[in-house]
Amino acid sequence: MNATRTHPHRRPLAGSDVLPYVYRVTKYDPADRDQHGHYAGAEPATSDHGPVEAAYLLAVAAFAEDTGVDKLAIREPQLGGFVHFGLEPPIDGYGLADLFSAGPAGFHDGALVPIAVGLKLVRAMLRDNGAWCRLESEGVFTVHVGWDQYLYIGSNLPCETALTRTRALGLFPERLDASPYDFAPDDPAYVQRPADADFWARLHWTVSAHRAVFLEEVFGGNASRWHRLTRDSIETVRSQLAPRSQLAVWPDLLTDIDTAVAALPDEGLVEVVWEGEDGQITSTVVDETQFEAVISQLAGARAVGVVSMYAGEDLPLFTAVLPDSDGVLRARWQTEPTPSDRDWALLKALRRGQVVTGTVTSIASFGVTFVDIGGFNAMINIPELSWRPFDHPSDVVSVGQEVTAEVLDVDMIRERVPLSLRAVQKDPWPQVAQWIGQVVTGPVTKILPFGVFVRIEDRGDGFQGLVHTSELDQSPENVIEVGDTLTVKIIDVDLARRRIALSQRQADQ
């Protein structure tokens, strides 16, 4: 297990879907609160592991019974770390011993548990240093455990019988507008990337490109596993991931031990990941006071990697969250977005044939023009710049120019978007086809072994046609050079291949 790059969960949150009846249930007599509403009595802020704790559990059971709920879903689970207030000693197994056959990974978002198991989870939360989660029946019932033995219960019914029972247990229920622990996303506007078919296709492509990558599977706050992925292992690892896990794809982090140790910062929080001789991958989060101890654990490791725990540093290649088996993303937590994730969000909104506006950012030496369309660099290949001939892309566009183009394709796997500038322009070739039979005069632009090219329009980007050697004037004095003016007849326009055939010999007929 290791600490993860997630936010502490025990902070006031403003829920958007508040149940109509919410109660704060505590062992603290409201009469013992001071003028600021803070409890000033003698009750300790820890669990007694006895009758008071039992009363809390009986109260939860009473509200669940009044609401008609017999199963609860685990939401946003956390293990140790951020849930530790330091008031009680650690609990072996985070209070989850024998509750889940799959071990801690069974304590995942969306797992349905009977009320009896839900009560054991509430007990672990009341003991301060075990597991934490929201327990919910969506739109019907919620149980949240907060600081200092504060319990918040929400229901879609008034639960009068449960209220009477709670008071009889010596506890104090108080009506609230909402629980301070109702879920609210870190960024309501952020669209979370799901681990859907596009994600797995991109992962396969990335593994092929890098030969191997690492997949970090975060199945709960402060709970993760690392997997080394190759083309042969991706599907096996995929089948073993905990439901609704957050996934982060990293490049091959592991280096030799000396290099990894040298990468440790002078201070700060880092995650050290290492692969043992047996192939087992282990990780731990440490700060500068623990570096020496963790270095001693690396003896015999095949390879080691160091990842910063600070936001914005050492970002993975891309991230996602596992949807449910029906393809719907119901997990509410969000991964920290990478540049690739932001590109995904933009690409997901694009469609083939869509017309977009962007700014030319660069023209590559090989001719491809790159265009910024809302933060993503799309590309225009040379043939898509113009219907008309040109020598270099800079003859058509310039860096900093705003252009309007059509989306030719959206490649979600390689994250590429080819554009066409000419697709939004009128195709002049049907008009050119009507010139067959005309006699025109123009300069020779190129001489080849099989003929010469002549520009047939009086403009720099005018169309050019080929005068095949068989259609040239064969008189001895007719020596042609680039720049010479020829009078030619347009004898054919091939619209499919965009070619114009000319004849010097027929121009005189």
CB 111 within 8 A of CB 150: no
Mapped onto helix, strand or coil, the DSSP state of residue 163 is helix
96 confidence band (pLDDT: 50, 70, 90): confident
Q: Stretch 271-299: mean pLDDT, rounded?
A: 88
> 42-67: per-residue pLDDT in tens?
999 889 999 999 999 999 999 999 99
- Position 90 scores a pLDDT of 67
Both tokens of 64, joined, read: 């669940």
- Position 424 scores a pLDDT of 96
> 319-375: per-residue pLDDT in tens?
999 999 999 999 999 999 999 999 999 999 999 999 999 999 999 988 899 999 999
- Position 6 scores a pLDDT of 36
Residue 11 pLDDT > 70, yes or no? no
> 380-401: per-residue pLDDT in tens?
999 999 999 888 999 999 999 9
One DSSP character per residue, 265-326 reads -SSS-EEEEEE-TTS-EEEEEE-GGGHHHHHHHTTT-SEEEEEE-STTSS--SEEEE---TT
Q: Stretch 27-42: mean pLDDT, rounded?
A: 90
Q: Stretch 238-260: mean pLDDT, rounded?
A: 90
**To the nearest whole number, what is the mean pLDDT of the chain?**
90
Both tokens of 432, joined, read: 């050119």
CA-based Rg of the chain, rounded to a whole angstrom?
Answer: 35
CB 182 within 8 A of CB 136: no
Q: What angle do CA 310, 312, 314 make, to 5 degrees?
A: 80
Q: Which residues contact 232 (CB under 8 A, 6 or more apart)?
A: none
- Position 366 scores a pLDDT of 83
Residue 236 pLDDT > 70, yes or no? yes
Q: Which residues contact 271 (CB under 8 A, 6 or more apart)?
A: 2, 3, 283, 284, 285, 306, 307, 308, 309
Query: Which strands make up the sheet holding 246-250, listed edge to edge?
Result: 223-229, 213-220, 246-250, 318-321
Residue showing tokens 């000419």: 422
- Position 460 scores a pLDDT of 85
| Cα–Cα distance measured from residue 284 to residue 354, given in angstroms and rounded to the nearest whole number | 47
Instruction: Name which residue leads in pLDDT, 298 or 195.
Output: 195
Q: Stretch 470-475: mean pLDDT, rounded?
A: 86
Q: Stretch 416-422: mean pLDDT, rounded?
A: 96
Q: Stretch 155-174: mean pLDDT, rounded?
A: 98
Q: Stretch 215-227: mean pLDDT, rounded?
A: 90
430 confidence band (pLDDT: 50, 70, 90): very high
Sign of CA dihedral 232, 237, 240, 246: negative
Residue 495 pLDDT > 50, yes or no? yes
pTM (two decimals): 0.83
Q: Stretch 104-123: mean pLDDT, rounded?
A: 93
Q: Stretch 214-218: mean pLDDT, rounded?
A: 93
Q: What angle do CA 241, 247, 249 make, to 5 degrees?
A: 115
Q: What angle do CA 76, 74, 59 make, to 5 degrees?
A: 115
Percent of the chain with pLDDT over 90: 66
- Position 17 scores a pLDDT of 65
- Position 93 scores a pLDDT of 77
Choose the weakest-confidence range: 173-182, 287-296, 299-308, 485-494: 299-308
- Position 67 scores a pLDDT of 98
Instruction: Name which residue leads in pLDDT, 228 or 244.
Output: 244
CB 171 within 8 A of CB 59: yes
Residue 14 pLDDT > 50, yes or no? no
Choose the weakest-confidence range: 15-24, 127-136, 364-373: 15-24
Residue 509 pLDDT > 90, yes or no? no
Q: Residue 277: how many CB atoms within 10 A of its CB? A: 8
Residue 9 pLDDT > 50, yes or no? no
